[in-house]
């Protein structure tokens, strides 16, 4: 058994596949392969799994919701090309029917993604690129996220902020109370980060915040100012669930609100793992098509 091996835990019935992050003499720190979970376990509790590249051979390669998001992007493009889109009336454009329609360009919402896990961050940034969502990603330890946002938000000026990493209910919590932030590994850090983002932009339509990880304090994150958060039923969430929502918001037209049930149904964990409030989309169309890109 060595660092990097894939393992499961006997005591939990082998329900989650982990990668050994740190290996000690008596115990190991484990990182979930598909679930945003950081755990520790005694070495005798571990079962070594067949070794493969979990970031090539699993669902992390191409999540099931990508096709749905790409369809919605195509639908937005078709809607923009329809005769009534952006025009005052069909009668006003009737005389122009013979003229060629202008070529539109896309402006999906811009994402600032802070992740407490560098491996998940790398995969997320690859998917943002594949889906043509403008995004900047930073690996930031959960306790440092509030300070990082105070520095990054004025620089990046995003439409959407993702604040995620690792979390979970503590095994030894006071009276077993899940209502207290102190019962969680990192929920208090996520809450502080959301507060910092809302100090920068209070309007939930001007800045969409998606926050939390596995078993995070859902209610506290919403109260702090998040639009979407995990985890209503304190379940484990998939590593890409926050990204799924961010991409859907980025491609929902600015004149519409995001269909909450639709976007959450696309996530791996569903309503048990993710929840949120009505939020406006960030997708815009423009004319004429941009010919040159200038650097700033």
Query: How do the domains of the chain map onto residue ranges?
Result: 6-48, 66-76+102-286
CA-closest candidate to residue 111, choices 208, 189, 203: 208
Residues 235/264, Cβ–Cβ less than 8 Å: no
CA distance 36 to 20: 14
Which CATH number applies to 66-76+102-286: 3.40.640.10, 3.30.30.60, 3.40.50.2300, 3.10.20.30? 3.40.50.2300
Residues 230/184, Cβ–Cβ less than 8 Å: no
Percent of the chain scored above 70 by pLDDT?
79
Q: In Å, how far are 79, 87, 93, 118, 252 from 84, measured between CA atoms?
A: 9, 6, 9, 45, 18
The answer to whether the pTM exceeds 0.85 is no
pLDDT of 231 above 50: yes
Instruction: Give the pLDDT score at 90.
Output: 46
Name the β-bridge partners of 137: 113
State whether residue 32 is helix, strand or coil. strand
- pLDDT average, residue stretch 189-200: 98
Q: Residue 93's pLDDT band (boundaries 50, 70, 90)?
A: very low
What are the start-end ranges of the E strands in 83-171? 105-107, 111-115, 135-139, 160-164
Q: Using CA of residue 280, residue 246, residue 266, residue 194, what is the dihedral sign?
A: negative
Q: Residue 292's pLDDT band (boundaries 50, 70, 90)?
A: low
Give phi and psi for 288, each to the nearest 5: -75, 175
CA-closest candidate to residue 194, choices 169, 216, 162: 162
Q: Residue 11's pLDDT band (boundaries 50, 70, 90)?
A: confident
CA distance 230 to 57: 26
Q: What is the pLDDT of residues 159-174, one digit of tens each?
A: 999 999 999 898 877 6
Instruction: Give the pLDDT score at 126.
Output: 92
Instruction: Give the pLDDT score at 252.
Output: 93
Of residues 92 and 229, the one with the higher pLDDT is 229
What integer best gives the mean pLDDT of the chain?
84
CA distance 63 to 117: 19
Instruction: Give the pLDDT score at 110.
Output: 97
């Amino acid at each position: 058994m060595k660092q990097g091996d894939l393992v499961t835990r006997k005591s939990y019935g082998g329900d989650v596949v982990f990668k050994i992050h740190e290996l000690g003499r008596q115990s190991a720190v484990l990182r979930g392969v598909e679930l945003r979970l950081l755990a520790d376990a005694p070495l005798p509790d571990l079962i070594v799994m067949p070794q493969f590249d979990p970031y090539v051979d699993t669902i992390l390669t191409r999540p099931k919701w990508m096709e749905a998001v790409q369809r919605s992007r195509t639908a937005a493009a078709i809607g923009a090309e329809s005769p009534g889109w952006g025009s005052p009336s069909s009668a006003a454009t009737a005389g122009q029917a013979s003229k060629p329609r202008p070529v539109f360009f896309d402006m999906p919402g811009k994402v600032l993604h802070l992740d407490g896990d560098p491996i998940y961050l790398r995969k997320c940034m690859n998917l943002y690129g594949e889906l043509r969502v403008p995004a900047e990603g930073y690996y930031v330890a959960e306790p440092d996220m509030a300070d990082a946002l105070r520095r990054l938000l004025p620089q990046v000026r995003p439409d959407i902020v993702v604040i995620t990493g690792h979390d979970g209910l503590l095994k030894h919590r006071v009276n077993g109370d899940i209502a207290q932030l102190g019962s969680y590994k990192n929920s208090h850090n996520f809450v502080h980060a959301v507060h910092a983002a809302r100090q920068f932009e209070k309007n939930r339509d001007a800045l969409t915040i998606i926050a939390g990880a596995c078993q995070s304090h859902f209610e506290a994150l919403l109260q702090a100012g998040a639009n979407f958060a995990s985890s209503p039923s304190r379940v484990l969430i998939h590593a890409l669930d926050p990204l799924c929502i961010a991409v859907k918001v980025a491609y929902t037209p600015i004149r519409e609100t995001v269909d909450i049930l639709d976007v959450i149904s696309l996530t791996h964990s569903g309503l048990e793992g993710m929840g949120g409030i009505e939020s406006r989309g960030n997708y815009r169309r423009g004319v004429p098509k941009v010919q040159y890109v200038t650097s700033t």
